[in-house]
Every structure is written in structure tokens, then in C-alpha cells.
Amino acid sequence: MNGEDGKYPIAKVLGILESGRRILVEEFDGEHSKGEGIYYRPIGGSIEFGEKSTNALIREFKEELNVTVEIDKFIGCIDNIFVINEQIGHEIIQIYTVVFVDKENYNRELFEIRENEKVSFAKWVDIMEFLSGEKVLFPDGLVEKLERGIS
């Protein structure tokens, strides 16, 4: 959850990919800062040392979904400090809107993600389900950005 020595935040990047009123998010099930259960997060990951956030985001989409995206625009940065099981996590997250290079990908309903022998899925979820609180979206602060229409 923390930097290597537990004293520094982790630099991350996330991509908001929209189709109508839906965004593409990875689904997780487990403990999170608001409790336990199903929660969602846009596609992305850690920025490697010496890597620009835009390059990291394109790499993450390629690694996780085997798709190519282009950066559309920078939305902002979220300073995400959270607690799970009494452990403090801290992420500095750059957030961009992105678009698929291959427009056929907008027709896919489910994307399989294989990472370190773990399989999960990304799917389209209506933004209103996050705005209403029906579904949980991380990082904290992203729902407010979507609510203001930044996405």
C-alpha cells in the first residue's frame, strides 16, 4: 500500500474511458476503505521511476486489457490517503480521459485482465450508479470530479 519503505506515497495513473454515460472500470471484491464487498476503479496502475504518467497509462491499458488507447485530456490529480485494516495507504494519482484507438472495443462488454496469475474483469458501468452511491468507485474524490462533469 505504501512506498517501498512505507514513508512515501506511490505515484499512479488512471484512465477514464467513456462510452455514452458509462465508464470502463475494473471490478474488485474484498476489503476497502469503506468496508468490504464489490468496488470499482478505472484502469491504470503505478508509474515506474523515470516514466511519464501518460506513457505509464498507455502501457497499463496494453498490459491489462491488451488494447491501445490515446490520451484525450488531463483531468487532474487526486491525493488519495486511505486506511484498510489499520494500514495507511497513500497514492498520488494523475487522471486522464482516454479513447480507444480501435473503436470496435467500445462494443465489448467485458474485458479480461490477467495480472500476476490473478484474473479479474473490467466492464462498463453507468456513471449514475457511482454518483448515486449505488456502487463504490475509488479513488476517493473521483466521483466528485465525474459529478462536476470533468470526465
pLDDT in single tens digits along all 151 residues of the chain = 445 556 788 999 999 999 999 999 999 887 766 777 899 999 999 999 999 999 999 999 999 999 999 999 999 999 988 887 788 888 999 999 999 999 999 999 999 998 778 889 999 999 999 999 899 999 988 988 877 765 4
Question: 92's torsion region: left (phi>0), alpha (psi -120 to 50) or beta?
Answer: beta
Dist. CA 69–CA 24, nearest whole Å: 13
**Residue 53 corresponds to which cell in the numbers above?**
504518467
Burial class (CB in 10 A: 0-12, 13-18, 19+), 103: exposed
CATH topology of domain 10-147: Nucleoside Triphosphate Pyrophosphohydrolase (3.90.79)
pLDDT of residue 106: 97
Q: Kindly report each contact of residues 56-62 with a partner whose C-beta sits within 8 Å and lies 24 or more positions away, as own/partner.
A: 56/13, 57/13, 57/14, 57/15, 57/94, 57/96, 57/98, 60/13, 60/15, 61/15, 61/98
pLDDT of 87 reads 82
> Is the pTM here over 0.85, yes or no?
yes
DSSP symbols for 18-54 = EETTEEEEEEEEEEETTEEEEEEEEEEEEPPTT--HH
Residue spans per domain, the chain = 10-147
pLDDT at 37: 83
Report the distance separating Cα 108 and Cα 124, nearest Å.
Answer: 9
